[in-house]
Amino acid sequence: MARAKIALIGAGQIGGTLALLAGLKELGDVVLFDVAEGIPQGKSLDIAEASPVLGFDAALSGANGYEGIAGADVVIVTAGVPRKPGMSRSDLLGINLKVMEQVGAGIRQHAPDAFVICVTNPLDAMVWALQKASGLPTHKVVGMAGVLDSARFRYFLADEFDVSVEDVTAFVLGGHGDDMVPLVRYSGVAGIPLPDLVKMGWTSQEKVDAIVDRTRKGGGEIVNLLKTGSAFYAPAASAIEMATSYLRDKKRLLPCAAYLTGQYGIDDLYLGVPVIIGANGVERVVEIELDANERAMLDKSVASVKELVGECQKIAPGLGA
Find out whether 280 and 257 touch, Cβ atoms under 8 Å: no
Give the nearer residue to ligand A3D in terms of CB position, either 182 or 235.
Answer: 235
Q: What angle do CA 24, 26, 32 make, to 5 degrees?
A: 80
Site for ligand A3D in 153-192 (CB under 6 A): 176
The DSSP line for 127-144 is HHHHHHHH---GGGEEE-
Give the nearer residue to ligand A3D in terms of CB position, either 120 or 131.
Answer: 120
CB of 108 to ligand A3D, least distance (A): 14
Q: Which residues pair with 260 in a beta bridge?
A: 269
Sole binder of ligand A3D in the list 4, 7, 10, 142 (CB under 6 A): 10
Is 41 a binder of ligand A3D (CB under 6 A)? no
CB of 59 to ligand A3D, least distance (A): 21
Phi, psi of 26 (to 5 degrees): 50, 50
Phi, psi of 114 (to 5 degrees): -75, 160
Q: Which stretch binds ligand A3D (CB under 6 A): 6-14, 201-209, 246-254, 288-296?
A: 6-14
CA distance linking residue 276 with residue 208, whole number of Å: 28
CB of 259 to ligand A3D, least distance (A): 16
Q: Strands 192-193, 5-9: parallel, antiparallel or unpaired by DSSP?
A: unpaired
DSSP letter for 120, please: P
In the residue annotation, 176 being an active-site residue is answered as yes
Is 94 a binder of ligand A3D (CB under 6 A)? no
Is 66 a binder of ligand A3D (CB under 6 A)? no
CA distance linking residue 101 with residue 126, whole number of Å: 10
DSSP letter for 201, please: T
CA distance linking residue 149 with residue 23, whole number of Å: 24
Give the nearer residue to ligand A3D in terms of CB position, either 10 or 188.
Answer: 10
Is 60 a binder of ligand A3D (CB under 6 A)? no
Find out whether 262 and 141 touch, Cβ atoms under 8 Å: no
Is 215 a binder of ligand A3D (CB under 6 A)? no
Task: Report, in angstroms and rounded to the nearest whole number, the Rg of the chain calculated over CA atoms.
Answer: 19
DSSP letter for 2, please: P
CA distance linking residue 13 with residue 71, whole number of Å: 24
Choose, from 5, 110, 154, 176, the residue flagged as catalytic.
176
Sole binder of ligand A3D in the list 195, 229, 278, 320 (CB under 6 A): 229
- Detail the DSSP E strand segments found in 3-140: 5-9, 29-33, 60-63, 74-77, 115-118
Q: Which residues pair with 184 in a beta bridge?
A: none
Sole binder of ligand A3D in the list 230, 245, 301, 304 (CB under 6 A): 230
Of 235, 75, 237, nearest to 140 by C-alpha is 75
Is 121 a binder of ligand A3D (CB under 6 A)? yes
Is 9 a binder of ligand A3D (CB under 6 A)? yes
CB of 131 to ligand A3D, least distance (A): 15
CB closest to ligand A3D, residue no = 12
Is 146 a binder of ligand A3D (CB under 6 A)? no
Sole binder of ligand A3D in the list 43, 83, 132, 140 (CB under 6 A): 83
Give the nearer residue to ligand A3D in terms of CB position, either 4 or 107.
Answer: 107
Give me the active site residues, please: 176
Which residues are near ligand A3D by CB under 6 A? Answer: 9-15, 34-36, 39, 78-83, 92, 96, 99, 102-103, 119-121, 123, 144-145, 148, 176, 229-232, 235
Annotated binding site: 10-15, 34, 83, 89, 96, 119-121, 152
Annotated binding site for substrate: 83, 89, 121, 152
